Structure 1
Amino acid sequence: MTSLGAVFRPQLAPERLRSVARLADDAGLEELWLWEDCFREGGISTAAAALAWTERVRVGVGLLPVPLRNVAITAMEAASLHRMFPGRAILGVGHGVQDWMGQVGARVESPVTLLREHLLALRALLSGERVTVDGRYVKLDDVALDWPPEVPHGGVLAGATGPRSLRLTGEAADGTILTASTNAEGVRKARQLVQEGRAAAGRGAGPHRLVVYLLTATGPDAAARLRAELTAEGVEAVPDLGGAGDAGAVAKAVEQLVEAGADSVVLQPTADEPDPEGFVRFAAEEVRPLVPTPR
């Protein structure tokens, strides 16, 4: 089944989250995604608030930068959310933006090594295991959670862009988050690289969730706003990125990503979106009915 979501971008003040989250819940949107971007809003704190304000919508954090976080803290916070809101929290981790990591003194020599160590330890802790590891970056001595998740929680997702990181998500994560600079062909390539990573780790061809952001604009100036943001991000030359226009046009862009292998497509408004609540309503009430649910 294809899930449809929307992003609450951290360019919005935190106090705006309550109205957007409640609208997403009331409108029947399946997923609301949040970002832990430096130096805006914390991922766990905003996710906890959004979950507490709502009853049904799943809340994703895509993603928590691992250089900022001891893996034990990540596991404790994730387990708390999974126990308080069973089946509704989706957590992703990743390298973080390296310039930001440098600003706070957290940049590491090998981001891939750190992410691998963090993922393996985090998944083990959330599975209720007692973990001792002496890695290059992650070091745990006989650590186990007192309150691991009680029910299956969907695993840990990881953000990735390059081939090494994509293979790593197949090796060590339960799902992969792709940025809005990924077109349908990029989704196909990502799926292949993920499977290569799974095979190299002896994990076979089991389920691996692929979440893809889709930069989206609607309204009379939709095409211009989309084009401006793609240009600002330096990806204007990448073909078939984003969706602009009415619900039909956006649903077609979603369907292309789904056909390429996406399990969840998350509509990402442009940074200058004038009506965040209206955007969520558009996703839930206009686009969702046009997106086929079976996979």
Structure 2
Amino acid sequence: MIRLGAVFLPQWAPERLRPVAEAADQAGLDELWLWEDCFWESGIATASAALAWTSRLTVGVGLLPVPLRNVAITAMEVATLHRLFPGRVQVGIGHGVQDWMAQVGAKVDSPVTLLREYLDALKALLRGETVTTHGRYVHLDEVTLVWPPADASIFVGAVGPRTLRLSGSDADGTILTGGTTPTRTREARQLIGADDKPAVVYLHAAAGPDAGVRLEAERVRWGYESLDDVAVFGDAATVAAGVRRWADAGATTVVLQPTPDDPDPEGFMRFVARDVKPLL
């Protein structure tokens, strides 16, 4: 059965997180996803807070840009989250936006090589192994986590074919960015090649009388030719029908991505959980 989530956007101030997370939790939303976009909000700090403020909600971080983070630090943070909140954490890693990586002096010549080395080391650390590796980018000497988690899945954010194949072979799941059409979702599924692994898709969404106007502004901001196949808006039945298109294309979780100027983020969470979810 399709899982339904929503994004707490980094364009919303950090102090908005608590009421939005609590609204999502109380309404019965499956998953709340957070972003670590430069230079907005930390993914780990916000995830820890959201998990502490809620009781049942799964919290996802999609994604942590690996050029910014030493793999040992990421392993420590992910392990801590999983031990504090077992069964409620999903963390994704990825290349990061290359312009942002260049701004902080972290851009690498081969993002795919870095991601592969990083993913291998991260998963080994989370399994409790003692890791020594000297790759092109990742270097560890006999590093072992003192408090490894009992279980921790790592997702990879992927767009290009090489990263999608890497995600399918080595990661526990894949994150597909907003703007991924149903057709592109099917193509990504073929490249991932692992039908039993989850695929999370972000989907632009809006509700309310001005939903179309706000999404048109998003279309311009993201450079889409049209809203067809990249967004859903309208009443609950219309949004649910749209979500099913991505589910039929291979998404196991659809995460509705509101507009940054949504006038009622808490209301958006309740709409997704109470009105849309029962129709799926």
Q: Which bracket does the TM-score occupy, shorter chain normalised?
A: over 0.9
Count of residues in correspondence between the two structures: 280
1:249 Cα offset (Å): 1.0
* RMSD value, Cα: 1.1
> Does residue 221 in structure 1 map to residue 219 in structure 2?
no
Instruction: Deviation per CA, 1:84-135: give whole Å up to 9, x if none.
Output: 0000011000011111111111111111111111111111111111111110
Correspondence list, 1:153-232, <5 A: 153=152, 155-195=153-193, 205=194, 207-232=196-221
The letter for the 2-side match of 1:265 is: V
Cα distance, 1:49 vs. partner? 0.4
SS in 2 for 1:265: strand
**SS of alignment partner, residue 32 of structure 1:** strand
1: CA distance between counterparts of 2:34 and 2:236? 23
* Residues 1:266 and 2:264 are matched in the alignment: no
| Offset at residue 206 of structure 1 (A) | 6.2
Unaligned residue ranges in structure 1 (runs of 5+) = 196-204
Q: Distance in 1 between matches of 2:207 and 2:244?
A: 17
1:19-98 counterparts in 2 under 5 A? 19-98=19-98
Q: Shift in Å at residue 207 of structure 1?
A: 2.3
Shift of 1:236: 2.5
CA distance in 1: counterparts of 2:206 and 2:33, whole angstroms: 17
Is there any run of 5+ residues in structure 2 with no aligned partner, and where?
none
Give the letter for the 1:149 counterpart. P
The one-letter code sitting in structure 2 at the alignment partner of 1:156 is: I
What's the offset of the Cα at 1:237?
4.1
Alpha-carbon distance in 1 for matches of 2:38, 2:191 = 29
Give the superposition deviation at 1:158: 0.7
The amino acid that maps onto 2:41 is E
Distance in 1, matches of 2:3 and 2:126, equals: 24
Distance of 2:47 and 2:215 partners within structure 1 = 27
Residues 29 and 82 of structure 1, relative CA distance in 2, 3 Å threshold: same
Residue-by-residue CA offset, 1:124-168 (whole Å, 9 max, x unaligned): 111111111110000111111110002x33x10010111121111
Cα displacement string for residues 22-41 of structure 1 (whole angstroms, at most 9, x for unaligned residues)? 11111111100000011110
| 1:60–1:90 contact (8 Å) kept in structure 2 | yes
- Whole-angstrom distance in 1 between the partners of 2:183 and 2:228: 10
Maintained 8 Å contact 2:189/2:195: no
Partner secondary structure for residue 141 of structure 2:
strand
Taking only the aligned residue pairs, the percentage that are identical comes to 64
SS in 2 for 1:226: helix
Q: Residues 206 and 263 from structure 1, CA distance in 2 versus in 1: closer, same or farther, beyond 3 angstroms? A: closer
The answer on whether the counterparts of 2:65 and 2:94 sit within 8 Å (CA) in structure 1 is yes
1:203-236 deviation line (CA, Å, top 9, x unaligned): xx46211000010011111122212212210123
Provide the secondary structure at the position in 2 that maps to 1:81: helix
- SS of the aligned residue for 2:175 comes to strand
